[in-house]
């Protein structure tokens, strides 16, 4: 088996029961930032996203639309791909669970788990949330006297749960309680951030029960190997996508596996941090290095809900100030290790203050002064205090990004923009330009500003890839440098291009409809 040579990064695959929304976008944007950052570090990255296309919920959505399940998931997958193209998501593969390569991997996982003695037939009776595609214990439900069964799912409170009873195949999850507890002790990085690891520890300490891993009489799913009466339970099916996307069970998958990071939402940690590692242990497959669970996004302090009027259409959010601005706002406002809130007012404020005033203004001033005072050519100049800020920002940025604290990395980069604007005010290059005796000081000022612009373009490229690629070209760079080269970058002799204003300032706030 060859040595792993690729940084393998995944998101949760999106359930194909409806079009992409802002929550989907947050996860894809954040993970794309990680992928682009790792590439900027010089790593070879393999970034996988996709769609989860089986299950009862998908079947019902297709029936409601008057389509076959196959036609329905083709439509939904196309909508997701289109959205990610618009948002600049730089994925390397888009896995669909209806693909033959995926079915082969699922069948191999089932065979291996069966070979370990961990699968057996039995009868399941219990509560089932169709939206979660998950069986629920009463501990996972909330009392709902108004509902038929007296309980509701806290994640989907407006949807009725159902009682299901059928003959299924079961997985001996209970066998893996102690191995998973040891895993958390020996490899605390396996579940991040810490608050999610503590939640999983409490689940494990409370004991594990065997789980149903097949469905009877459900025609839309991966057929169970050697038992056509059953299909594979949608979560077991879906989790295997991380392996099927890199060629499992063929030997070449070892170039990618184990995954370096699975990025998921905090509501599905039980599946990824309990079910998934137990499945892999049963099948004799190495465990991923880290599962990172980001938080939830609310809308102006309220849970997202179309029926309650707390909703943001993804197209409206993109159209507000453009795809790069939305990427910036979500990762600036949303802690990547906690929950965050979307507000049209805050979006407008961030756009105008951070992007138009701070970053855009600095770029425009620096490039205009190089054009005016040095004929559009970056001069050679001695290092200044701004170069120390470039070095400091690069270190703080790298530390935050390595820790997956994307919001802190973005803040570190934007502090450099603040520092650049202060530097302009303190050095007053327009005064230096009026005094021939201060030509060397003016050269140092302009050279440092050019280096700061190049550094900002590099640090911010993972967050705003289109705008920052354009900004790099304006300071004479054909391509962005590696992150390690930022503090020592030399631009003397390069020709700048002023170009259009990067972030035109909006004079008035919009209504949510734009």
Mean pLDDT of 67-86: 98
How far is CA 326 from its chain centroid?
14
pLDDT tier for residue 507 given thresholds of 50, 70 and 90: low
pLDDT of residue 1: 36
- pLDDT for residue 126: 78
Burial of 231 (0-12, 13-18, 19+ CB in 10 A): buried
Least confident of 39-48, 82-91, 220-229: 220-229
DSSP assignment of 105-137 equals HHHHHHHHHHHTT-EEEEEEEEEEETTTTEEE-
What is the average pLDDT value for the chain, to the nearest integer?
Answer: 94
Q: Using CB atoms within 10 A of its CB, is residue 323 exposed (0-12), middle (13-18) or buried (19+)?
A: buried
pLDDT at 62: 96
Give 334-389 pLDDT, tens digit per residue. 999 999 999 999 999 999 999 999 999 999 999 999 999 999 999 999 999 999 99
For residue 512, what pLDDT is reported? 46
Instruction: Provide the pLDDT for residue 511.
Output: 45
Task: For residues 321-334, give the mean pLDDT.
Answer: 97
Q: In sequence order, which residues have a C-beta less than 8 Å from that of residue 468 and are 6 or more positions away? A: 456, 457, 458, 460, 461, 480
Average pLDDT over residues 261-279: 97
pLDDT in tens, 135-166: 777 778 888 888 887 888 888 787 778 887 78
Least confident of 162-171, 173-182, 253-262: 162-171
Q: What is the pLDDT of residues 389-434, one digit of tens each?
A: 999 999 999 999 999 999 999 999 999 999 999 999 999 999 999 9
Structural domains in the chain plus CATH codes: 7-295 (3.40.50.620), 344-488 (1.10.730.10)
């Amino acid at each position: 088996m060859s040595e792993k040579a690729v940084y393998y990064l995944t998101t949760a695959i999106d359930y194909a029961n409806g079009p992409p929304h802002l929550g989907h976008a947050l996860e894809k944007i954040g993970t794309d930032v990680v992928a682009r950052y790792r590439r900027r570090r010089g790593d070879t990255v393999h970034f996988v996203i996709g769609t989860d296309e089986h299950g009862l919920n998908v079947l019902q959505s297709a029936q409601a639309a008057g389509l076959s399940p196959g036609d329905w998931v083709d439509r939904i997958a196309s909508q997701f791909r289109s959205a990610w193209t618009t948002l600049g998501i730089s994925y390397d593969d888009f896995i669909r669970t209806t693909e033959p390569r995926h079915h082969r991997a699922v069948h191999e996982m089932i065979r291996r788990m069966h070979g370990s003695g961990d699968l057996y037939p039995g009868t399941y009776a219990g509560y089932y949330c169709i939206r979660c595609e998950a069986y629920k214990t009463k501990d996972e439900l909330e009392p709902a006297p108004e509902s038929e069964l007296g309980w509701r799912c806290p994640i989907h409170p407006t949807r009725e749960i159902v009682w299901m009873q059928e003959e299924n195949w079961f997985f001996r999850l209970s066998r893996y309680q102690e191995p998973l507890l040891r895993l958390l002790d020996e490899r605390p990085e396996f579940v991040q951030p810490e608050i999610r690891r503590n939640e999983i520890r409490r689940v494990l300490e409370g004991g594990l029960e065997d789980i149903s891993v097949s469905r009877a009489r459900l025609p839309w799913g991966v057929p169970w190997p050697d038992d056509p009466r059953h299909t594979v339970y949608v979560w077991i099916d879906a989790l295997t996508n991380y392996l099927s996307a890199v060629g499992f069970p063929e030997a070449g998958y070892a170039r990618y596996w184990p995954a370096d990071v699975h990025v998921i939402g905090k509501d599905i940690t039980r599946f990824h941090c309990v079910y998934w590692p137990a499945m892999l242990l049963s099948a004799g497959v190495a465990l991923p290095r880290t599962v990172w669970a980001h938080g939830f996004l609310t809308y102006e302090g309220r849970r997202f809900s179309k029926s309650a009027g707390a909703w943001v259409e993804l197209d409206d959010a993109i159209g507000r100030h453009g795809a790069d601005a939305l990427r910036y706002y979500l990762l600036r406002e949303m802690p990547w290790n906690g929950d965050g809130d979307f507000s049209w007012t805050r979006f407008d404020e961030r756009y105008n203050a951070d992007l138009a005033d701070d970053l855009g203004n600095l770029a425009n001033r620096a490039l205009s002064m190089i054009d005016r005072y040095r004929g559009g050519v970056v001069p050679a100049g001695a290092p200044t205090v701004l170069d120390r800020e470039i070095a400091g920002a690069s270190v703080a940025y790298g530390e935050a990004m390595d820790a997956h604290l994307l919001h802190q990395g973005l803040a570190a980069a934007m502090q450099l923009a603040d520092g650049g604007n202060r530097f302009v005010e303190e050095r007053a290059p327009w005064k230096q330009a009026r005094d021939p005796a201060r030509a060397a000081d003016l050269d140092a000022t302009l050279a440092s500003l050019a280096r700061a612009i190049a550094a900002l373009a590099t640090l911010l490229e993972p967050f705003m890839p289109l705008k920052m690629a354009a900004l790099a070209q304006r300071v004479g760079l054909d391509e962005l440098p590696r992150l390690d080269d930022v503090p020592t970058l030399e631009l003397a002799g390069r020709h700048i291009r002023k170009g259009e204003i990067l972030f035109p300032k909006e004079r008035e706030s919009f209504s949510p409809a734009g």
